Amino acid sequence: MRLLVSVRSAAEAAAAVTGGADIVDAKEPSRGSLGPVEPAVLRAIADALPGGMPLSVALGDLNDPAAAANALVPLEAVPGRPAELFVKVGLADIGDPVLARAVLGAVVEAARSAPLRPAVVAVAYADHELAAALPRDVVVLLAADAGAHGVLLDTWGKDGRDLFAWASPADIQRWLETARRGGLLTALAGSLSADDIQRASRLEPHIVGVRGAACDGGRSGLVSAVRVRRLAAAIGGSAPADAVA
């Protein structure tokens, strides 16, 4: 299992790397669960990463297939292709599976033809009713059908309730198994504390993502190398390469 740390600046990216993060995720927390950073900030974050460091980029929640390709424009700020490049796409405010499938398909197609060829990760929300989104089980099936690389189970609301407040370990385990059968990379996030990360690790997703637990001062604070180091120790190291191919 690998540890993803969401950062909003180059300084935070450096702290995440120093602390032992496996993946750095560019995200602006003040803009919601999948808030994208500005292109200049994305470039600075990418520049701060050592060679071979995977990069993830939050693109926000999309609901228009015709505009999906434009969501990848910020990637033009990334100088050269990282060893691994992921883009996270949410589907808040879409209650129609046909529209959700069209959005995901458009993003996947745009990614295949983009210069950096990012891997698309569809985001399902455990609190999908708050997000006016489709249930997590529907999203994982749509992601597999659209040709996405992976799926992330996250929380849309950031009100202090974590992933396990919305889904039991048994329910999450079933969701992960469905995703794996579909050939998808799996990730868990959602206001996870250090204790939550240990619970999540027992479910064996490929990736677990954090923001608040890695920061001094919570989600809106600053990423701390010390906190990241503790979280990395809590999950016991990285997954083997073949588990995340």
Residue 150, token pair as written in the block: 């992976």
Alpha carbon 73 to its chain centroid, in Å, reads 18
CA distance 197 to 189: 9
Asked about 88 being catalytic, the answer comes back as yes
**CB crowding 3-16: b at 16 or more within 10 Å, else e:** bbbbbbbbebbbbb
Can 158 be counted among the known catalytic residues? no
In angstroms, rounded to a whole number, what is the distance separating the alpha carbons of residues 97 and 94? Answer: 8
Contact 126, 166 (CB under 8 A): yes
Residue among 2, 27, 149, 227 flagged as catalytic:
27
Catalytic residue among 2, 8, 43, 88: 88
Q: Catalytic positions, please?
A: 27, 88
